[in-house]
């Protein structure tokens, strides 16, 4: 395929995807909501090295936003993203029409209830139903061999893996490490919402998780004590932040753990001004 194509019709995308599958072509997919940062670009560069043809999608999915969230104001710059896609070697940029992704009367949804009771699933009801449904649709339309997702949204990756496995969808789900700014803040399209003052304290989100890891390395195993230490740290260093959740969970089941006896995930969501920022740290005990 010479030059990057942009496709907006879901039907046209599916016809092309099915043809690729018939030909045995290895297709990589990077699903996004656009307004790309280095985290998105790292997914594309990695995927480019592992496939014959690379598709990146941009779709601000309305069904994963709740009431009062930032659907109408979600940042967008499709021309900039399109130029970046070409630089990263994307073969097809799929930017589907919203009206064709959700036809009038749409009423079929994908739910993964076991993994969505906690963390973002608890504080954003319906969010993962929207995520799972749109990713299932993208898999059916693009027909990729594999799809790459960032592990900043750890719960999302877990949900998509389980959905793909249990619905027998022939797509390999690849989770890729969090990409951070030089000061440690996890890259996010929503970081643009931060004021200068908020941006200055935002790196303490990750520093709190590093504090927790240090306590575990020093022998602390009580999750209550670990959570209290990080909460106190955030209260001191991010006084304007409102903690949505700080949880220690099993990385596979996303269930809260009370005592550290195996590898776990420390996950946080914190509201800072107009931004809701999430981060996590996988803590392996053998290290």
State yes or no: 189 annotated in a binding site: yes
| Active-site residue, selected from the candidate residues 40, 204, 259, 261 | 40
Burial 29-41 (b: 16+ CB within 10 A, else e): bbbbbbbbeebbb
Angstrom distance (rounded) from CA 56 to CA 54: 7
State yes or no: 35 annotated in a binding site: yes
State yes or no: 250 annotated in a binding site: no
| 204 is annotated as an active-site residue | no
Q: Which of 1, 75, 70 is nearest to 34 (CA)?
A: 75
Angstrom distance (rounded) from CA 138 to CA 95: 11
Q: Which of 67, 161, 50, 173 is nearest to 114 (CA)?
A: 161
Angstrom distance (rounded) from CA 235 to CA 224: 16
State yes or no: 38 annotated in a binding site: yes
Angstrom distance (rounded) from CA 16 to CA 1: 12
State yes or no: 60 annotated in a binding site: no
State yes or no: 28 annotated in a binding site: no
State yes or no: 190 annotated in a binding site: yes
State yes or no: 153 annotated in a binding site: yes
In the structure encoding, which two tokens stand for residue 181, read together? 């700014």
In the structure encoding, which two tokens stand for residue 19, read together? 């043809």
State yes or no: 101 annotated in a binding site: no
State yes or no: 36 annotated in a binding site: yes
Active centre residues (catalytic): 40
Binding-site residues for ATP sit at 33-40, 150-153, 179, 187-190
Binding-site residues for beta-alanine sit at 64
Binding-site residues sit at 33-40, 64, 150-153, 156, 179, 187-190
Binding-site residues for (R)-pantoate sit at 64, 156
């Amino acid at each position: 395929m010479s030059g990057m194509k942009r496709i907006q019709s879901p039907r046209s995308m599916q016809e092309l995807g099915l043809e690729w599958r018939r030909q045995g072509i290895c297709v990589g997919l990077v699903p996004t909501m656009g307004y790309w940062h280095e985290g998105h670009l790292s997914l594309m560069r990695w995927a480019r090295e592992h496939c014959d043809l690379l598709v990146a999608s941009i779709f601000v999915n309305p069904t994963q936003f709740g009431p009062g969230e930032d659907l109408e104001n979600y940042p967008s710059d499709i021309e900039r993203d399109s130029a970046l896609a070409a630089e990263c070697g994307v073969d097809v940029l799929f930017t589907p029409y919203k009206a064709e992704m959700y036809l009038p009367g749409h009423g079929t949804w994908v739910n993964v209830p076991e993994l969505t009771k906690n963390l973002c699933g608890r504080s954003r009801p319906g969010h993962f139903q929207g995520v799972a449904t749109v990713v299932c649709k993208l898999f059916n339309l693009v027909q990729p061999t594999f799809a790459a997702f960032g592990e900043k949204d750890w719960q999302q990756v877990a949900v998509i893996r389980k959905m793909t496995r249990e619905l027998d969808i022939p797509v390999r789900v690849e989770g890729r490490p969090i990409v951070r700014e030089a000061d440690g803040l996890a890259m996010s399209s929503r970081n643009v919402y931060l004021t200068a003052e908020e941006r200055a304290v935002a790196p303490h989100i990750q520093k709190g998780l590093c504090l927790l890891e240090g306590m575990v390395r020093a022998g602390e195993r009580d999750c209550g004590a670990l959570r209290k230490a990080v909460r106190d740290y955030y209260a001191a260093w991010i006084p304007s932040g409102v903690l949505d959740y700080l949880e220690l969970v099993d990385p596979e089941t996303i269930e809260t753990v009370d005592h550290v006896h195996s590898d776990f995930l420390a996950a946080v969501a914190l509201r800072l001004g107009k931004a809701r920022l999430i981060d996590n740290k996988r803590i392996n005990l053998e290290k």
